[in-house]
Amino acid sequence: MAAQLVSGNRRPLFLPYNDVWHNGRKLMHHLTMNHVADTYQFLQELESIRLLKDSIESHEGYEKWFERYSAALILRFAFGKVVVTEEEEYVRRILGLVHFVERVVEGDAHHVLKILLIFASEESLQINARNFGLVA
């Protein structure tokens, strides 16, 4: 149920063990092999320097710097998109989804109730998915 709500069954965290999950795991395994990881090491170094610089200049907002670090690496490596200000639309959409998932997996009863209510109506699900930018 969570996989469908949050990602249309496209996020590995929520997937059941099946062919989609297995293929995703194979991809992640391939991307983290040494010879592949060497090809994006310069991106990690660049974003690490940027993270260090920002954290030295301002101790406030450190969570934002770590979110930008992760988003910048993943978006640049996987999609060729550069994160400059972390205010880019695609970054805000992804971080919005990350924060939504964090709230869902907290396990608080009111979040579980919200999920059940959303699933009570297919129309409601579609509206919420559009509001979170999960579908066009």
The tens digit of pLDDT for each residue in 30-87 reads 877 888 778 888 888 988 898 889 888 887 877 888 888 888 888 887 778 888 888 8
How confident is the prediction for the chain on average, in pLDDT? 76
Which one, of 33, 31, 70, 28, lies nearest residue 48 by Cα?
A: 70
d(CA 69, CA 50): 8
Answer yes or no: pTM beyond 0.85.
Answer: no
**Quick one: tokens of 107?**
């396990």
pLDDT recorded at residue 91? 86
Q: Are 122 and 4 in contact (CB under 8 A)?
A: no
User: Could you give the angle at which helices 62-79 and 89-105 cross, rounded to 10 degrees?
Assistant: 120
Q: Are 121 and 33 in contact (CB under 8 A)?
A: no
Q: Which amino acid is at 27?
A: L
Q: What is the DSSP string of 116-132?
A: HHHHT-HHHHHHHHHHT
